[in-house]
Structures are given as C-alpha cells and as structure tokens.
Amino acid sequence: MDNQISIRRIAELAGVSVATVSRIINKTGRYSKETEARVHEIMDAYHYVPNMLAKGLRTSRNMTIGILIPDITGVYFGDVASTVQSYMFARGYASIILNTGRDKEQELACIRTLQSQQVSGVVHIVRENPADAGYINLPTVYLDADPAREPNQENVVNVTCDNVMGGYLGTKRMLDAGCRNIGILMTPQNYTHVKRLEGYEKALSEYGIAPDAGKQIHLERMSIRAARRAVKEYLANDPFDGIMCLNDAFAIGALKGLLELGVRVPEDVKIVGYDSSDMLAATNPAITTIIQPIDQVGETIANELLRMMEIGTPGEDAGEHSIIIPISLLDRDSV
Amino acid sequence: MDNQISIRRIAELAGVSVATVSRIINKTGRYSKETEARVHEIMDAYHYVPNMLAKGLRTSRNMTIGILIPDITGVYFGDVASTVQSYMFARGYASIILNTGRDKEQELACIRTLQSQQVSGVVHIVRENPADAGYINLPTVYLDADPAREPNQENVVNVTCDNVMGGYLGTKRMLDAGCRNIGILMTPQNYTHVKRLEGYEKALSEYGIAPDAGKQIHLERMSIRAARRAVKEYLANDPFDGIMCLNDAFAIGALKGLLELGVRVPEDVKIVGYDSSDMLAATNPAITTIIQPIDQVGETIANELLRMMEIGTPGEDAGEHSIIIPISLLDRDSV
DNA sequence: TTGTAAGCGTTATCAC
DNA sequence: GTGATAACGCTTACAA
C-alpha cells in the first residue's frame, strides 16, 4: 500500500514483458486484445499510476508546464493563470505555478527551478519589469510583456489585450457623458499602462483636447490606499470631472477618496476602472470598467503554448509572434 | 544552447568522474577544494542545471509538492495557496497547483496526477465536499476539512482557523452594539460554516437569545448575487437588525441588497463579514470582518508538511493531527 | 580523495 | 505479437 507499483511488477503479474505493458499503456505498437485486457485488469487491481519522472526522463518531455506570475493573488493575473492551469490540465499537463514576487533574484530562481523540472513550456506573466531571457530555449508565452523587448524570437509568443483600445473606450465613455477634464491614474513602469495612456490621449484628441501631462497621476504601487490619497491631493489643485483608472485598485481607491471628500459619483466626477469585474461591481456605486476577457486570454495562451510544444520549433506555420485580444467596456453606475 | 548539459558532460570537461561532480553538487562525501573549484567553474560556464526528474527518479524524492484547491481564484484559499507556494519555494520545493473545481471526478484526476508526478507531499484545500482518501499514503495537510472525516491517520494533519470563535466574535460585536435580532448568511454544506454557526449561537445564548432556525439563511452558492437577493427577501418577513455573513461574497451581497432597499448601514442594520479584508474595505461603508491570518495559516501548513516529509512517517513527535489557528475581528464601519 | 557501476521506472530499438 | 535490453541523468555503495 505504501510504495507505488511499477510497470515491471505489472508485467510480472500479467506474465508478459515490460515492453508489452508499455505498449499497452501508450497504445503504441501491437498487442493482442487478450493481453491488453489482462494487463488492464492488473493495473486497475493494483492501482497502477505511471511514474512521470521516469517517463519524462526517458522521453525528455514530462507533461508539465511552468507558470511564472508576479503573485497568484492578483485578480486578473491570478484568474488567467487559473484558466491556463485548468485548460492545460484537460490536455494532460500539470502546471508548476511560481510566484516571482517583485524580486529579480527570485524571478531567476524560478526560471532555474522550471528548467530543473524539465518543463515543456513556460507561461510568463509579467508586471513591471521586462523579464530576463534566462531560458534555454523553451517555448514561452508572455502575457502583457512589451513585445519590443523580445527580439522576435522563435519559440516565443506575446499575448496581451488591446490596451490602446481599453484606454480609448474608457475615456471616450466619459467624454461622451460630458466630461472635459479627465485625469488618469497609472503606473508608468507598466507597459500596458503606457499603451492605455496612448488610447486615453487618442480619445481626448478626438474631442479636440490636448494631452496635458499634469493630468497624469503617476503611482508607484498599485494599491487602493495610494490611489485614494493621490486623488484627494490632486483634486485640490485641479477639479477633474472624470478619472480613468488603469486598474481595479486605483478605481476603488479613487472612489473611496472622492466619496470621503463629499464628491458625488457620478454626478460630480465620473470614474472608469479596469479589470476585476466582481470587485468593481461590489462598490457603491458600481464602477464602469474595461473588461479583459480572461477565458479567452487563458485559452489563447494555452493554445499557443501547446502549438509550440507540439510542433517543436514553430517553423512554417509559426503563427503570430504577437497576439492582441479585444476588450470591452462594461457600463455600470460610475459614469 | 539547446539541450541541457548533463552531469556526465561536466565530469568529462572537468576531467573527473560523475560521482565526484555529484558529491560536489550535493556537498556530500569528500573532495578537494581544487576539484570543487574547477567543477563549479565549468558548471557555471556551461549553465549546468540539475535534472530533477533524474534526481527524483533516483532518490524517489523530487522536490515538489502538490496543492489541491477548489479554485486558485478564491480570495482566502488563493492567498493561502500563494503563501504556501512561496514558503515552500524558499525551502527548495516547487509546487504543482491544481484546481479541483467542484467536480469529484476532476478531484480524483488531480490526485492521480500528483501521484504520477511523485510529489513528496500534498496540501489539500477543501471547500464543501470532504475529499476522498484517494492517496497512496502521502503526507497531506488539509485546510478546513472536517477533522472527524479522517480516521486520525498518520501522515495527515488538519489545519483550520478557529471557526467557532469567528462566529462568536462577529455576532458578539453586533450584540454589544445593540442588535437583538441577528440573522446569519451561510452555506450549510461547508464544514467551517457549521462551526461558525456554533459560535453565533453561543454568542446569542450568552445574551439569553434562543437560537432560531428561521434566522439562518441557507445559500447554496457563495455568490454576491445570491446573498443580495436572499437578504432582500428575508428582510421583508423578519426585520433583522444585524447579519452575520460567513464569507466575503455574502457580506458584499448583503450590503448591496440592504442599500438598494434604502436601509442604512450600520444605523438600521449592522453587518459583519468574513475574510477578504481588501474587498470588504472597498465597500461603502467598509465592512467589519473576521480576519483569518493568511500568512500564519500558510506557514503552519508548510511547516507541518515539511515536518512530515522530512521525518517520513511522523512516529514519535507526530505533533497534533489537528491544528486550530486563532482569528481576530477587524472593526470597520458596518457595525 | 576519487572512480566504478548498479539501479531508479520508463521508452524504444532491435530481434524473434 | 512479444521479449530482451540499452539508455535517459542522477545518487550511492563499494573499491581503489
């Protein structure tokens, strides 16, 4: 009951060779219906479970991928990781999920671990810092990395949502609702935020409003608290009538700050957030937000990875090296 | 640059035997300072990464654990899993995290996968359904499982927070604040909720209030929506002045429902929630809540697992089979 | 201090 | 249709 039973023992019990058992397990080569039945019977009876270490060692392809993520806890990233995990599991792959934290050191350690574990591919979810290309040529899908960073490599795909469109749609919604003095809450270190800013400015310019750096509130940490404080400060100088918040924490913080100031939302100031539908639905008023389609992102990542892992080097039908997924705006009560 | 370099190749390059290299890598046995230096030099130069599959196969102990979780996305569970992962990583272990979903089938598949991967231990985070003992005797730590379920097995530890105390403290806070007609929002399938209910009733009885099953609002799904709807319905029949919500979604839903009804919180009805500090801080008013100490839970789980994995079978200093971690109440504005 | 070699559980290449 | 057997990369007696 303690140690697992091996293919050899199964072979003995069934009175055949290990080779035959292996063939039956993998449905390769030839074997008679009868031996097959007998072997399966024994495997079931003894609860045989294949040893993926041995298999992986032999085939140099264990059914495992690595998922690198700044912090599983993050809502959007965590959800995507979760989707990828489930999707890959259904395809027979286990996922080693590693929190990279904010630490560069840690990130490298994670990469080494994944290599040690001989994963067949890597999903690398990235926040601020462009990741080092510390791999030895493993199929890798990045989420939200700056595509310019990677020298259009084989074996590497970048996936990201349409950030320009996100910034644009959110801002436009407020413009359409009458706002003319819209601030933006962002983390400039983040590649996605830079693109979203682009969309924000595009929307403004369509309304003949010149971009004004003074309306960009730059925050280092993506925290509710920081956003709350910042909004209160900035509002004193410049009476915004709308705020584009580039993530969920910012949106919540902004709302809290505004409410504490006695400002009415959306009557006096309007807000658009980003991500985390649930959380932003929980506030009062519920916050209008840009939705990145988590399932679609997860599936795209998984499919791209599978494609690369199965074809080996992409070669001919390498597909795109950069994939952009459309987003949408979810109207609620903050605009 | 493509395929990884092996210990054998390193040995060749350094002009020593694989045994010596292995000793140096693992710092076991004897070797001279000089060979050590030379070998390390070569390993660095060629970016040697040990193959954990081979190592694990040989030692039958790859440095990997499995984490089974209903859904990484869940706030409390996800946070705990994240903590465990980081903690174990620091100890040299990688974590295979698997979403078990709500499906019994899927859960078994996950367990088989972990066995296949030869993990050294398992963390099993459980929601509603007590898990099958589908393992082959692996060190396992359960979070929030009903301890009565497991026949006080070797190799198994149950960790949970003090649920009775949680229900008690939350309810008592509302009683102290003057409530006398307190409802409770719960999922009776969930073991932790049953214990929390116990605490709730204990608090009531201390105030001479008899338990009244009519005040228990039973919900199947832990969703914001369900809670919102339920609160509205029930309030029509019985004018609560307080609601003990046994998870964060319930608390948010309850608040939303109340607000929509024009009920003032906390003036007319008070609310206490459970978990998810961030989310419950985001609402307006911010919700008073029971805090389960995530870091402590994660560390306890990791330590217990390490203890079992390293000692092998617990034997003598087996420690407790069931560990209960204290919780606390965080006062905010909903009471 | 170092080397030789067996073996971990598989798969795959040969034979038969 | 089936069976020996080498090999995957590593650890670990046992020898030297």
Residue A130 has pLDDT above 60, yes or no: no
Give the integer Cα–Cα distance in Å for B27 and B249. 51
* pLDDT value of residue B150: 64
Give the integer Cα–Cα distance in Å for B293 and A219. 28
Q: Among A137, A252, A281, whose Cβ lies nearest the Cβ of B1?
A: A137
Please name the nucleotide lying closest to B49, CA to C1': D9
Percent of chain A residues past pLDDT 90, beyond the cut = 75
Say if residues B39 and B14 touch (Cβ distance below 8 Å). yes
Q: Among A54, A94, A259, whose Cβ lies nearest the Cβ of B113?
A: A94
- Window 161-190 of A, Cβ < 8 Å to B: none
Tokens of A143: 């989420």
A50 touches strand C (CB under 7 A): yes
Q: Among B57, B81, B98, whose Cβ lies nearest the Cβ of A94?
A: B98
Say if residues B283 and B254 touch (Cβ distance below 8 Å). no
Instruction: Give the position of tokens 């459309």.
Output: A326
Tokens of A275: 């991500």
Which residues of A fall within a CB distance of 8 Å from B83? none
* pLDDT value of residue B314: 45
Give the integer Cα–Cα distance in Å for A145 and A141. 10
Instruction: Give the position of tokens 């495997």.
Output: A43
Return the closest-CA partner of residue B119 out of A106, A117, A25: A117
Total-model pTM: 0.92
Alpha-carbon torsion (A187, B77, B258, B270), positive or negative? negative
Q: What is the mean pLDDT of residues A148-172?
A: 89
Question: Which residue positions in chain B have pLDDT lower than 70?
Answer: 1-2, 128-136, 150-152, 312-320
* C1 nearest neighbour residue (CA to C1'): B31
DSSP, collapsed to helix, strand or coil, labels residue A94 as strand
Return the closest-CA partner of residue B209 out of B235, B247, B171: B171
Three-state SS for A242-285 is: EEEECCHHHHHHHHHHHHHCCCCCCCCCEEEEECCHHHHHHCCC
User: Amino acid letter at A240?
Assistant: F
Any idea how long chain B is? 335
Give the integer Cα–Cα distance in Å for B113 and B251. 36
* C7 nearest neighbour residue (CA to C1'): B58
DSSP characters over A99-168: E-TT-HHHHHHHHHHHHHTT-SEEEEE-SSSPPP--SSS--EEEES--TTTS-S-TTEEEEEE-HHHHHH
Residues 6+ apart with CB under 8 A from A55: A62
> Is B85 in Cβ contact with A52 (below 8 Å)?
no
A208/chain B closest Cα distance in angstroms: 35
Q: Which helix (H) or strand (E) holds A90?
A: helix A75-90
Give the integer Cα–Cα distance in Å for B87 and B99. 20
* Residue A1 forms contact with B (CB below 8 Å): yes
Say if residues A269 and A243 touch (Cβ distance below 8 Å). yes
User: Amino acid letter at A208?
Assistant: G
Give the integer Cα–Cα distance in Å for A294 and A292. 6
Residue A152 has pLDDT above 90, yes or no: no
Chain D nucleotides with an atom closer than 7 Å to a protein C-beta: 1-5, 7-13
User: Amino acid letter at A36?
Assistant: E
Tokens of B171: 């309810």
Instruction: Give the position of tokens 């390293």.
Output: B310
pLDDT digits (tens, 9 = 90+) for A264-318: 999 999 999 999 888 888 788 999 999 999 999 999 999 999 999 987 554 445 5
* Residue B247 forms contact with A (CB below 8 Å): no
Give the integer Cα–Cα distance in Å for B319 and B322. 9
User: Amino acid letter at B310?
Assistant: E
Lowest mean pLDDT, pick from A23-32, A239-248, A250-259, B135-144: B135-144
Assign residue B262 a region: left if phi > 0, alpha if psi is -120 to 50, beta otherwise?
left
Say if residues A103 and A119 touch (Cβ distance below 8 Å). no
* pLDDT value of residue B129: 58
Tokens of B131: 């898990």
Residue–nucleotide distance: B11 CA to C4 C1' (Å):
14
* Residue B50 forms contact with A (CB below 8 Å): yes
Say if residues B43 and A40 touch (Cβ distance below 8 Å). no
Say if residues A39 and A21 touch (Cβ distance below 8 Å). yes
Which residues of A fall within a CB distance of 8 Å from B52? 116-118
pLDDT digits (tens, 9 = 90+) for B85-144: 999 999 999 999 999 987 888 888 999 999 999 999 999 998 765 555 566 678 999 999
Give all domains of chain A, ordered by start, each with its CATH number: 7-50 (no CATH), 58-161+294-326 (3.40.50.2300), 163-291 (3.40.50.2300)
Return the closest-CA partner of residue B285 out of B310, B318, B263, B302: B263
Give the integer Cα–Cα distance in Å for A274 and A74. 13
Q: Among B51, B71, B112, whose Cβ lies nearest the Cβ of A118?
A: B51
| Residue B54 φ then ψ, to 5° | -65, -45
Residue B283 Cα distances to A224, A244, A286, B77, B234, angstroms: 12, 19, 10, 21, 22
Q: Which of A71, A86, A105, A116 to mutate to test the interface with B (most CBs of B within 10 A)?
A: A116
DSSP state of B28: -
DSSP, collapsed to helix, strand or coil, labels residue B48 as coil
> Is B94 in Cβ contact with A98 (below 8 Å)?
yes
Q: Give the residue, A195 or B223, on which the prediction is more confident.
A: A195
- Window 56-85 of B, Cβ < 8 Å to A: 56-57, 62, 64, 71-73, 78-79, 81-82, 85
| Residue B326 φ then ψ, to 5° | -70, 150
Calculate the average pLDDT of chain A.
Answer: 90
Instruction: Give the position of tokens 């409390």.
Output: B76
- A288-291: strand order across its sheet: A216-218, A182-186, A242-245, A270-274, A288-291, A328-330
Instruction: Give the position of tokens 């639905």.
Output: A281
* pLDDT value of residue A279: 82
Q: CA-CA-CA-CA torsion for A285, A290, A292, A295, nearest 10 degrees?
A: 40
Give the integer Cα–Cα distance in Å for A175 and B99. 42
Q: Give the residue, A241 or A103, on which the prediction is more confident.
A: A241
A118 touches strand C (CB under 7 A): no
